[in-house]
Amino acid sequence: MSTQVAPPLEKPRRAARRKPPSAALYEVVVPLIATAAAFLVWEAICQAFKVPSYLVPPPSAIWNDTIAIGPTVFWHSLATLKTVLLGFVFSIAISLPLAVLLTASPAIASAIYPFLVWTQSVPKVALAPILVVVLGSNELPRIVITVLVAFFPLVISSATGLMSVPPELIELSRACRASKWSELWRIRLPYAIPFIFAGLKVAISLAVVGAVVAEFVNADAGLGFLIVTSTAFFKVPVAFGALIILSIMGVVLFQIVVIAERVFFPWSSGNASVSS
């Protein structure tokens, strides 16, 4: 009956993946041209109206002033990247076990939820100076702040994913008298992968925010620190440069998560069809 049904299902999907050159053009070249045009307009306005550089610097000034202290900026970028990545890794290390605990039993969930909500309702900027006093003036409070900013969406989406398994599969697992561990490992976690990655994408973006917030409060290095110190001395172009590097860092890290999902979990990328 259905031997002929399978290939037509597969073909259009492959065709969609192998994009014609015009699609690549629209996805890469057009946005690049648009961005370049935006910078040109920006430059032109600054030049035409003679906007003072300490208010809104033109892109050329941002470029020149940032390149002038290139090694320093690079060093600050590395410091921020380190905080972001450590915070992200610790967020994962905390969130996945928490999500498993949350879904393990309603009693555990009600015990943990108030604490989770508390970590989210506390203003992190207000918490940061206190953490510095408690944990000392080093990398640790920055990582803690980053984790506090980034981990919550990851916990929630992972927990949602772990609960998204069709009830029949849980019945099947019970009928096999499988252990909770193998149910988690063989059924629940793989089912949660698309949800976990949705959480990871939010978490990596928030980790950048968290790291900068932490650097504002307490740091001797990092792009957040660079913004604070350069604006204090009216070196506004450098602050803008740091800002642009931060946004590029955010986009690149986000894309790395997207690509990691496509490479390691190709069946997960089309989130919608997972339940079918």
Confirm or reject binding of residue 183 to other proteins (CB under 8 A): yes
- Residue 81 CA to residue 55 CA, distance in Å, equals 28
- Residue 178 CA to residue 60 CA, distance in Å, equals 64
Confirm or reject binding of residue 263 to other proteins (CB under 8 A): no
User: In this chain, which of 177, 232, 263, 272 binds other proteins, going by CB under 8 A?
Assistant: 177
> Is 17 or 50 the residue whose CB approaches other proteins more closely?
17
Contact 226, 74 (CB under 8 A): no
- Residue 126 CA to residue 36 CA, distance in Å, equals 38
- Residue 80 CA to residue 68 CA, distance in Å, equals 20
- Residue 83 CA to residue 264 CA, distance in Å, equals 25
Confirm or reject binding of residue 262 to other proteins (CB under 8 A): no
User: In this chain, which of 18, 106, 123, 168 binds other proteins, going by CB under 8 A?
Assistant: 168
- Residue 153 CA to residue 98 CA, distance in Å, equals 12
* Binders in 193-212 for other proteins, by CB under 8 A: 193
Cα torsion 33, 207, 61, 49: sign = positive
Confirm or reject binding of residue 1 to other proteins (CB under 8 A): yes
Confirm or reject binding of residue 261 to other proteins (CB under 8 A): no
Residue range at the interface with other proteins (CB under 8 A); choices 53-61, 87-95, 165-173, 198-206: 165-173
> Is 137 or 275 the residue whose CB approaches other proteins more closely?
275
> Is 3 or 22 the residue whose CB approaches other proteins more closely?
3
Confirm or reject binding of residue 190 to other proteins (CB under 8 A): yes
Confirm or reject binding of residue 63 to other proteins (CB under 8 A): no
> Is 56 or 169 the residue whose CB approaches other proteins more closely?
169
- Residue 237 CA to residue 243 CA, distance in Å, equals 10
- Residue 144 CA to residue 204 CA, distance in Å, equals 15
Binding-site ranges for other proteins (CB under 8 A):
1-2, 5-6, 9-10, 166, 168-169, 171-178, 182-183, 186-187, 190, 193, 265, 267-268, 273-274, 276
